[in-house]
Structure 1
Amino acid sequence: MPVSAKKKPDSTMLQSVLNEFQDTTIWADLAPRTQQDYIKQIKVIEKKFGSFPINGLADIRTKAVFMKWRDELAKKSRRQADYAWQVLARILSWALPLGKVPANPCEKGGRVYRGNRSENVWASDDESAFMALAPAHLHLALQLALWTGQRQGDLLRLEWPAYDGAKIRLKQSKTGARVVIPVGAPLKMMLDAIENRTGTILKNLDGEAWTSDGFRTFWRKARIKSGVSGLTFNDLRGTAVTRLALAECTEAEIATITGHSLRDVRSILDAHYLNRDPKLAESAIRKLENKHKSVN
């Protein structure tokens, strides 16, 4: 049921479009968690613009009005401000070709958040935005990269026999390294839900194996549509290393999963991704406290 469904909204107001979007197959296909995230943002949108006249979207001044609203939200959280903007942009992009709105003033609005430390790392908000706004057939590619730390080419070539229900086995094309990767629960859930287990695990909309160029083109468009800027698919490999480190995995454990050399893992953590992440400092102090308690 739409967020605001106590009474039928005026069909000339933006609220009607917000409600209609929640009755589409696009909405139905979203994961429950994604729907919850959307609902949170839709509540923010309708509070400010539920009574906004649809015809007003065509006014060239409307974009400035929306951007000012986003700037106000950004005073509390830049990430959440971007997410609210992305959700509104997605709803309007659905409504525009159907003639439900005259324009999408949120198109090409950019972002207000990009921390310097995270320039090469997919933050959790980037992941959420991509999962919410990118085409569903690209979701598995994102999760495979995040949960295995493998290169794009190796993942595109990965075939179903490489997955036995618990682990993924592959030989890296660049180094020849053989890796055996235990499959985390979120990734396993996605893999086990797929019925067609012939050929490559990752397939395009036609059910065929991706070409490298085809995948890069679709990925780039999906990333832009999701509002994720300054990041590439290749950055997911380093992001996987970072997340494993923040989960307190050792460098040896990380290398076993990703296939990096220990030196490369150390280089990634030191020079590009963690940059002395505060969470690691907190972990270090906890370990020191525990050591101190055991001695005394």
Structure 2
Amino acid sequence: MLVKLKGIHKVKRRLASGEIRIHYYAWRGGPRMQSPPNTEAFAAELLKHKADSAPVEVKTIDLLIDAFEASPAFAALAEKTKEGHRFAFKEIRKEWPRLPLKLTQQRGMKAMIRKWHQTFSANPRKADQMLFSLSRVFTFGIDEEIIEKNPCSGITRLYTGSRREAIWTPALISQFRAGAKAPLRLAFELAIHTGQRQGDLLSLTWKQYDGTHIQFEQGKTKKRVRIKVHSTLKAMLDALPRPAIRILTNSRGRPWTNDGFKTSWGKECTRLKIEGVTFHDLRGTFITERRREGSTAEQIASISGHSLTEVGRVLEKHYLAHDQQTGDAVILRMERTTRKQKK
């Protein structure tokens, strides 16, 4: 009998004809029942809905990784970030096949992770990627109330490199412009005039350029930014033929792949004897130069797609900490103020 089935949600609805019809749901907010009430089919359907909605029992680290990869949180990540996690997950599964989650919450797990992390010390960046991916899985488990703590917390990262001084100087910029091949020169100009990431520039299509502005939907953050095209860049774009959908293409007129572009860019910098800077550093150079010109952090963020906090972090920690021109400007302004006061 229907009365013996707990949790059934019943809703009365009056149709346009005046007739009152009763709809049954497996539970409040749950799926609508299709079988007639007070039947075996109704009871069987209810059991199926409850089974389908029951959370998957996660008992091992393997299953926690599976749950994370199947989650909306993982789906929302940029493809490059997903690739990094997947690579790390293979190593994690090798190290701890079917490790019970309850053991990860006990004393000693952090020491095990620290020791595993250090086995990759020959490649500090890889080591930190392993640690970051494992930590992200544990964070997911905490968010889903599967576990209570993240044993990766407090483990020091191995990579200590810094991009503080890695900005393109005027000399390097002139050097690249003077000798770079046309396909790479165009990529360079797009990066230094828009401050966008490599992946977003490589996927840029002519439809995104309307003659005055370029519309970006950033692959990493999903933010949409509309950037006015600098006159120098506009002259280059307007003079180009448009045989392909993408703006940036290689010497054969084919769209770049990320790996193909990275390889060609590295060879070009080697040929031009440009060292100590990367393509990504053009993004930091853009931020730094706009700040030098007097643009505010808010204005820079509206174009770069960073949050205000991220812009501040870039300016403070990564690029301006050793920027002599910026430091000199403070004293020069102080001297101008002193001269005005004396007058």
Q: How many residues align?
A: 181
Instruction: Give the aligned partner of residue 151 of structure 1.
Output: 197
Instruction: Give the aligned partner of residue 318 of structure 2.
Output: 272
| Contact map agreement 2:165 2:322 (CA 8 A) in 1 | no
Instruction: Give the aligned partner of residue 191 of structure 1.
Output: 237
* Structure 1 residue 250 corresponds to structure 2 residue 296: yes
CA deviation after TM superposition for structure 1 residue 117, in Å? 9.2
Percent identical residues: 43
RMSD of aligned residue pairs (Cα, Å): 2.5
CA deviation after TM superposition for structure 1 residue 284, in Å? 4.2
In 1: Cα distance, 2:264 partner to 2:164 partner? 24
| Contact map agreement 1:117 1:274 (CA 8 A) in 2 | no
Output the amino acid matched with 2:245.
G
Q: Mind listing any 5+ residue stretches in structure 2 that lack a counterpart? A: 1-161
The secondary structure found in structure 2 opposite 1:200 is coil
Change (3 A) 1:117 1:205: closer
TM-score normalised by L of structure 2: 0.49
The secondary structure found in structure 2 opposite 1:268 is helix
TM-score normalised by L of structure 1: 0.56
Larger RCO of the pair (alpha carbons < 8 Å, separation 6+) = 1
Change (3 A) 1:205 1:271: same
* Structure 1 residue 226 corresponds to structure 2 residue 241: no
CA deviation after TM superposition for structure 1 residue 269, in Å? 0.7
CA deviation after TM superposition for structure 1 residue 195, in Å? 1.9
In 2: Cα distance, 1:214 partner to 1:286 partner? 45
In 2: Cα distance, 1:284 partner to 1:237 partner? 24
Written as runs of structure 1 = structure 2, the 5 A alignment for 1:27-106 is none
Which 10-residue stretch deviates more, 154-163 or 186-195? Answer: 186-195
Output the amino acid matched with 1:190.
M
Instruction: Give the aligned partner of residue 121 of structure 1.
Output: 167
| Contact map agreement 1:145 1:236 (CA 8 A) in 2 | yes
Instruction: Give the aligned partner of residue 113 of structure 1.
Output: none
The secondary structure found in structure 2 opposite 1:275 is coil
Q: 1:211 aligns with which of 229, 245, 257?
A: 257
In 2: Cα distance, 1:204 partner to 1:195 partner? 14
Q: Mind listing any 5+ residue stretches in structure 1 that lack a counterpart? A: 1-115
In 1: Cα distance, 2:239 partner to 2:320 partner? 34
In 1: Cα distance, 2:242 partner to 2:338 partner? 51
- Deviation digits for residues 139-159 of structure 1 (CA, Å, limit 9, x no counterpart): 010010001110000000000
In 2: Cα distance, 1:291 partner to 1:177 partner? 44
Instruction: Give the aligned partner of residue 201 of structure 1.
Output: 247
CA deviation after TM superposition for structure 1 residue 133, in Å? 2.1
In 2: Cα distance, 1:154 partner to 1:117 partner? 21
CA deviation after TM superposition for structure 1 residue 292, in Å? 8.9
